[in-house]
Structure 1
Amino acid sequence: MSTEETQQSARILLIDSHPITLLGLNALLEASSDYEVVDKLSSASGITEILKQKRPDLVLMDLHLPKTNGINLIREINAATENSAKIVILTSALSQAETCDLIRTGVKGIILKEMATALIMQCLRRVQSGGEWIERNSMKHAFEQMLRRESEHQSIS
């Protein structure tokens, strides 16, 4: 038996306010023997208790949940799991500031919802194996904004 065959499936918690997104992600992940979806949440309500009960290896979440500051939620997840759950952000759009904040909070993966489902699976595999995945368009946008700001700041000085 190879290492892959004996490896347990990763326990994953899904958080997204859109029911169709949760349904689609659940179907995608359940079709793979690599993942066990331990819960699906449409809000951050009661997240600390759920994290302690379900003990996910991965949290796949949208940054933009209603009535929730996504960055603070990430900090709450990190505290509740003692940084043991690897967080992957799956969202429709990110600002430069959000991208930088996500990197600072220790998020292991950032991917946009417009990407192919195969890339979501690649991202999760890389993060689960200890790597990181940051979607290229998010980083390109963040760095372009940062360079533009620095250029504007230098011309003012």
Structure 2
Amino acid sequence: MTVRILLADDEPLVRAGLAAVLGAEPDLTVVGEASDGAEVLPLVRSTRPDVVLMDVRMPDVDGIQATRSLVERFDDPPRILVVTTFSNDDYVYEALRAGAAGFLLKRARPDEIVQAVRTVARGDSLLFPAAIRTLAGRSAHTGGGDRLAAAKLTGREGEVLRLMARGLSNAEIATELYLGVETVKTHVGNVLAKLGARDRTQAVILAYESGFITPGS
């Protein structure tokens, strides 16, 4: 299966560099380029990408607005990977809250870029626990407590959510809790369903914003 990718960045050199790196892989293909967030929605409709590499800072419509629009207007939106210069950029956290599956630094090595695209394309999240913890600690957003309380997570599901926030994979969670990987997959699926979270990133952010996990813990 070939992963279809849309690039959204206002810098032509950045788009050209990403296109060269991704286009060199046999299982990846760049199907379109946008120079502003305003161009993203129509291009997604016409090119049907699996993944959008989204710059967070663009002059007219930024990556946060574009991400939010994609999640709201498409029943099955493409996976969104935010591209940023600094991991501590508050724009990154807002984009993750809006529905992005993870973020990637512009200075990342070519192999890291390729791996990141493949990761989100297969439905996984690209979590950087330390960065998300820092960004969550600076965020003034609250209000997730009622939603998490209403989810009525079991004790085991709460443990799984905490380990998800540490960036552990299903296999690593299984080792930590002495469970089978399939059992962990079931618990992760239950956590996402109960929280109404699109993916692990959304679940972890909700856990921080609800106070279930504190940035200093």
TM-score when normalising by structure 1: 0.77
> Alignment identity in percent?
27
Q: Which residue of 2 aligns with 1:102?
A: 95
SS at match of 1:33: coil
Q: Is the 8 A contact 1:59 1:88 kept in 2?
A: yes
Q: Which residue of 2 aligns with 1:152?
A: none
Q: Match for 2:77 among 73, 80, 84?
A: 84
Q: Which residue of 2 aligns with 1:65?
A: 58
Q: Distance in 1 between matches of 2:21 and 2:74?
A: 25
* Cα displacement (A) at 1:69: 3.2
TM-score when normalising by structure 2: 0.57
Determine if the alignment matches structure 1 residue 129 to structure 2 residue 160: no
Determine if the alignment matches structure 1 residue 142 to structure 2 residue 135: yes
Determine if the alignment matches structure 1 residue 114 to structure 2 residue 107: yes
Q: Which residue of 2 aligns with 1:149?
A: none
Higher helix content, 1 or 2: 2
Shift of the 137–92 alpha-carbon distance from structure 1 to 2, 3 Å rule, reads: farther
* Cα displacement (A) at 1:94: 4.9
SS at match of 2:107: coil
Q: Distance in 2 between matches of 1:38 and 1:87?
A: 15
Q: Which runs of 5+ in 1 are unaligned?
A: 1-7, 147-157
Q: Which residue of 2 aligns with 1:17?
A: 10
SS at match of 1:118: helix
Q: Which amino acid aligns with 1:132?
A: S
Aligned residues: 139
RMSD (Å), alpha carbons: 2.1
Bigger Cα displacement from structure 2, 47-56 vs 128-137: 128-137
Higher strand content, 1 or 2: 1
SS at match of 1:107: coil
Q: Which residue of 2 aligns with 1:74?
A: 67
